[in-house]
A and B are shown apart, each in its own frame.
Chain A
Amino acid sequence: MLLDASHLWKVYGEGDARVEALRDVCLSVEAGEFVAIMGPSGSGKSTLMNLLGCLDKPTRGTYRVEGEDVSRLSATDLAHRRNRTLGFVFQAFNLLPRTSALANVQLPMLYAGVPSKELERRARAALERVGLGDRLSHLPSELSGGQQQRVAIARAIVNRPKVILADEPTGNLDSKTSAQILELFQQLRDEGLTILYVTHEPDVAEYASRLVVVKDGRIAQDGPQTPKQAGPGVAA
């Protein structure tokens, strides 16, 4: 089992201000799965995503990544875990401003100790993989939203992680560009990556092969679905 969360609780605040963001959530993900986590805002889906991404620690419960219990790891060990096993894609892209696409993509490798001579080659390969081989030296401000998200995806895959975690990856994009991004995810899944993404839009969730619905901090529905196929003529 690649990711294995059992009986996760996440509680914020105390007394009257106590909020149970997650209540007794169990979720297992096998390698190669393509999972959409859907739910209305405030349902706890982002909290779940942060826990799965080792960005946050659960209040209770255990979470194993590749069999290792990470719910009690130190901040430094969690950072190593994020660096090597996980790749993140954010709604707001979160690229470094005034920094070229190539340098942005190199960022995770800097923290992984990749040799200097390999940095550029691998970053270039990752950008070519997402279809931006001709935009290497462009700054984020010179790229469209869809292109920026592709740079972010290149950054997420450049360290060869096992899992891509995407938090509302299409939230800032129009529907056509969104479709392109989701089809890129499908291709990456076909190449062996495991992908989880959070969305609140049902038509975005349709691209995944497994749908998890979160409501009021609990998993309300979890099952396989037939994914929507990539349309013809879509660049990847």
Chain B
Amino acid sequence: MNTWRTLAVALQALTRNLTRSLLTVLGVIIGVAAVIAMVSLGEGAKAKVAKTFESMGTDMLTVFSGSSFAGGARGGAGSQPTLTWDDLGAIRAMENVSMAAPQLSSQGQLVSPTANWNSRVTGTTPEWFHIRNWSLASGRFFEAADEAGGRAVAVLGKTVSDALFGEGVDPVGQTVRVNRVPFQVVGLLASKGSSAFGMDNDDVIVVPATTFNRRISGGLSKYLQGVIVVQASSGQTDAVRADLSALLRTRHKLRDDAEDDFAVRDLADIAQAQQQSAQTITSLLAGVALVSLIVGGIGIMNIMLVSVTERTREIGLRMSVGATPSNVLMQFLLEAMTLSVLGGLIGIALGLGAGQVMAMKFGFPVAVRPDVVVLAVVVSAAVGIGFGLYPARKASLLEPIAALRYE
């Protein structure tokens, strides 16, 4: 008897007990659906983390000045200015660097006609807005001409604008005094919320670097009093990082045995750590779901055992009309496998649907892993074979005469 015919016999037996077959399948459906939905959810969370870091700029590198060394005490990063404006120019000319901008910082007291506020003042060039993924709520970014001319223009973060001009008021066109120097507000940044480290990204006022140097924090002419943010071409962060080190070592004329007088940091490490924690959660969820799949398999075994007992006379009859022990074994095995694979397929559909719904609810991107879908089918078939084998073998070992007489 060939497999197709055995399968037809198995299907016939299953449809003869349709309600029971469906209830048995339910266990596997839930198991597989849980695995798929949980993995999709975990993958979605992972994708969301990745996206969050993208908005912070995963391809972004920050170059710090070196640390000071005086009387045996070392200062922190940037305590000794070593980066020059010429370094910035050289970095901008590098291969795989799409943009670079200075980022000069100081605290400043901001005064509007009605209020005052202390905030972080950033001096930079127009590229900075793109590297840092800012967008505008109103007005404009300052431009190269503003920077070159050293004009007193400023772009406000939402927190600063709200503090100085009131909640929801458009500050464009107003004047704000920074350390008593009047700046004209030309733009308002769209809110970014707080950073991954709990800092308020919107508590910021951005002015052209030249204006910053001249009017707010008088810097040395040659050295750049801050950091350089670098936007690498997509996926080239590691290469740019290495090239940056080589370039700056050459430019700073460091000997081979000398330490770097600068530091390069990127966000990849943080991003990786976040991805890993999301991965752990995915594995955990999948593990729990897998347990429910095994429970579903035990349900199949239970029903198959009941079925073998209940159908002992049928087995006896089949044997008396010529079914060999292996025919009987195959029939019951295929019945169990049909149940589990059918449950697997329905479970996949259900799991994908549930994953879709949850992704929408939690605002995750939908992420389906084809390998997990394939795995779910394989596992559910294996569950059918694994848990169907014992009942099927029990059936095949029945003595025809004893089976026929069974009451």
Contact = CB atoms under 8 A, between A and B. Distances in A.
Interface in A76-124: 76, 79-80, 82-84, 88, 90, 94, 96-99, 103, 107-108, 110-113, 116
Contacts of B314: 96
A82 B404 contact: no
Given A55-B400, A75-B325, A107 B320 contact: no
A229 B195 CA distance: 103
A113 to B, nearest CB: 7
Nearest to B397: A75
A159 B401 contact: no
B16 A82 contact: no
Given A98-B16, A103-B12, A111 B401 contact: no
A206 interface: no
A85 B319 CA distance: 14
Contact of B322 (A50, A83, A90): A83
A53 interface: yes
A22 B260 CA distance: 102
Contacts of A111: 1, 318, 321-324, 327
B331 to A, nearest CB: 10
B405 to A, nearest CB: 9
Given A98-B16, A110-B5, A82 B321 contact: yes
B401 A76 contact: no
B313 interface: yes
Contacts of B326: 76
Interface in B289-332: 313-314, 316-327
A56 interface: yes
Interface in B390-407: 399-401, 404
A155 interface: yes
A51 B204 CA distance: 98
Nearest to A47: B401
Contact of B404 (A55, A98, A108): A55
B401 A99 contact: no
A152 B59 CA distance: 79
Contacts of A83: 321-322
A94 B313 contact: yes
A73 to B, nearest CB: 12
Nearest to A92: B313
Contacts of B9: 110
Interface in B1-60: 1-2, 5, 9, 12, 16
Contacts of A80: 322, 324
Contacts of A82: 319-322
A97 B5 CA distance: 19
Contacts of A53: 320
Contacts of B16: 96-99
Nearest to B403: A55
A53 B320 CA distance: 9
A56 B324 CA distance: 14
Contacts of A97: 16
Contacts of A103: 12
Contact of B12 (A76, A99, A116): A99
Q: Is the interface of B mostly helix, strand, loop or mixed?
A: helix
A37 B202 CA distance: 102
Contacts of B313: 94
A154 B99 CA distance: 88
B6 to A, nearest CB: 9
Contact of A112 (B318, B322, B399): B322
A167 B318 CA distance: 16
Nearest to B400: A55
A143 to B, nearest CB: 17
Contacts of B321: 82-83, 88, 107-108, 111, 155, 159
Contact of A79 (B12, B316, B323): B323
A94 B322 contact: no
Given A55-B401, A76-B326, A110-B5, A96 B317 contact: yes
B401 A94 contact: no
Interface string A8-35: 0000000000000000000000000000
Interface in B83-113: none
Given A50-B401, A90-B404, A96-B314, A159 B1 contact: no
B3 to A, nearest CB: 12
A83 B317 CA distance: 11
Nearest to A90: B404
Contact of A76 (B324, B399, B404): B324
Central interface residue in B314, B316, B401, by most chain A CB within 10 Å: B401
Interface string A41-70: 000000000100101100000000000000
A108 B12 contact: no
Contacts of B317: 90, 94, 96, 107
B195 to A, nearest CB: 68
Contacts of B5: 110, 116
Nearest to B328: A79
B4 to A, nearest CB: 9
Contacts of B1: 110-111, 113
Nearest to B319: A79
Contacts of B400: 55-56
B402 to A, nearest CB: 9
Nearest to B325: A75
In the A-B complex, the 7 residue pairs with the closest CB atoms? A83-B322, A111-B322, A108-B321, A79-B324, A76-B324, A55-B401, A94-B317
Interface of A: 50, 53, 55-56, 75-76, 79-80, 82-84, 88, 90, 94, 96-99, 103, 107-108, 110-113, 116, 155, 159
Interface of B: 1-2, 5, 9, 12, 16, 313-314, 316-327, 399-401, 404
Given A79-B327, A83-B322, A94-B317, 6 more contacts: A56-B401, A99-B16, A103-B12, A111-B1, A111-B323, A113-B1
